Amino acid sequence: MRVFVPNAITAAALCSGLTGIRFAIGGDYERAVQAIILAGLLDGIDGRAARLLKAQTRFGAELDSLADSISFGVAPALIVYLWTLHQLPSLGWIAALAFAICCVLRLARFNSRLDELDQPHKQAGFLTGVPAPIGAGLAFLPMYLWIATGLSEFTNPIAVGVWMVMIAFLMISSLPTLSWSRMRPPPSLRLGVIALVGLTVAALLTEPWFTLAVITIAYLILIPIGIATYAKVRRRAPRHTRAIQGQDVPPQSTATGDADAPNGPF
């Protein structure tokens, strides 16, 4: 039963992603995007449910990746193609394929590194490239703006195609990106962060599409910040290592220090 719960959530996320394609075929693009967003929320729950229930299995990991490849790779590519890229039958389809393929490649790279110990980005508390669910959210930025404003300029197939390809390469890139585990506000800012989260939820309820566009743009701004932060972490790491190696610490002190060290890099 413990294993069933997270896998059922993953299956629900997959169904939501596929339903998004159905809505797009019917021309209901708002509900199509909403279905992918729901898939993203469910995707964020299944892994946590597996860890909470101690039900992490190899089957669950493979199922999650397969579901993600459809919900955040194939489905968004088809939705955007049906929305506007179909106006460029060949180039638009190539842009959609590029997005779907890069999403699958990203997930395959992630699975292949599950057992690797040497992962500099992960060890420093960062991700490698843009995660698949976030990539799907970024790909929908022109749709957010179109739904929020009704301006036909946001449906330009050339601009949207270029945008899709850019996001595709961000997913398979080796750029260090910020992870939720690293974004821990200091105690002095926690009340402000709580207030900001509350205001964001209120904004999503009143002006969802404009708010989603703002959140997407904010994430894009965080990408260069993440790169700069990772560079600082890497510059500090060699100095910290040399300082430890230069200390004359008795063996018993080292053991005690390891035992008293905090769990994690923070």
Q: How many domains does the chain have?
A: 1
User: Would 50 be classed as within a structural domain?
Assistant: no
The mean pLDDT of the chain is 85
Give which of 145, 68, 73, 144 is closest to 102, Cα–Cα: 73
User: Would 87 be classed as within a structural domain?
Assistant: yes
User: Would 38 be classed as within a structural domain?
Assistant: no
Instruction: Report the C-alpha gap between 176 and 121 in whole angstroms.
Output: 6
Interval 228-236 mean pLDDT:
83
Position 57 confidence tier, pLDDT thresholds 50, 70, 90: confident
Position 21 confidence tier, pLDDT thresholds 50, 70, 90: very high
The kind and range of the H/E element at 23 are helix 4-25
Q: Per-residue pLDDT for 106 more than 90? A: yes
Quick check: pTM over 0.85? no
User: Would 262 be classed as within a structural domain?
Assistant: no
Interval 47-56 mean pLDDT:
84
Give pLDDT, residue 93. 97
Interval 244-263 mean pLDDT:
40
The identity of residue 132, as a single letter, is A
pLDDT in tens, 67-85: 999 999 999 999 999 999 9
Please name every residue paired with 177 in a beta bridge, in sequence order, or none if there are none.
Answer: 127
User: Would 121 be classed as within a structural domain?
Assistant: yes
User: Would 55 be classed as within a structural domain?
Assistant: no
More confident residue, 103 or 234: 103
Q: Per-residue pLDDT for 148 more than 80? A: yes
More confident residue, 51 or 244: 51
Domain that holds residue 175: 72-244
Q: What six digits make up the tokens of 75?
A: 């489905």
User: Would 99 be classed as within a structural domain?
Assistant: yes
Q: How many CB atoms lie within 10 A of CB 214?
A: 15
User: Would 89 be classed as within a structural domain?
Assistant: yes
Position 238 confidence tier, pLDDT thresholds 50, 70, 90: low
CB within 8 Å of 165: residues ≥ 6 apart: 95, 98, 99
Position 98 confidence tier, pLDDT thresholds 50, 70, 90: very high
